[in-house]
């Protein structure tokens, strides 16, 4: 398979994630999912470049991005649960009320 197909897929996935993040300013959980789609598209770019150049550095970077994405997801879901217990909603516009 050509790497051009994978890179076009990455562009489409990243665009969908960015568009979903910017268009959906209400639900925190959907914003987290859109950010995850963007991170997975970046992983696909790293893996495609690694296979194309026949180097392991891209695969190591993809592993590092997956680790950072897992930490971001765990922290985001913990904040989501905490906020839902406090306010009984996941409306992003009300998060600024948590400043203390």
CATH classification of the domain holding 8: 1.10.287.3510
48-75 confidence digits (pLDDT tens): 989 889 889 889 999 998 999 899 889 9
pTM value? 0.81
Within 10 angstroms of residue 97's Cβ, the number of other Cβ atoms is: 10
The mean pLDDT value of the chain amounts to 87
As for how many domains the chain has, the answer is 1
Q: What is the mean pLDDT of residues 2-25?
A: 90
CA distance 3 to 62: 16
**Residue 98 is assigned to a structural domain of this protein:** no
Could you tell me if residue 83 is inside a domain? yes
Query: Do the domain assignments include residue 25?
Result: yes
Calpha distance 79→61 (Å, rounded): 27
């Amino acid at each position: 398979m050509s790497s051009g197909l994978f890179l076009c897929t990455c562009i489409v996935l990243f665009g969908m994630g960015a568009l979903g993040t910017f268009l959906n300013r209400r639900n925190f959980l959907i914003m987290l999912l859109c950010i995850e789609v963007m991170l997975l598209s970046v992983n696909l770019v790293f893996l495609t470049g690694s296979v194309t150049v026949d180097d392991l550095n891209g695969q190591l970077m993809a592993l590092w991005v997956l680790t950072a994405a897992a930490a971001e997801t765990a922290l985001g879901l913990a904040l989501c649960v905490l906020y839902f217990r406090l306010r009984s909603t996941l409306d992003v516009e009300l998060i600024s009320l948590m400043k203390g």
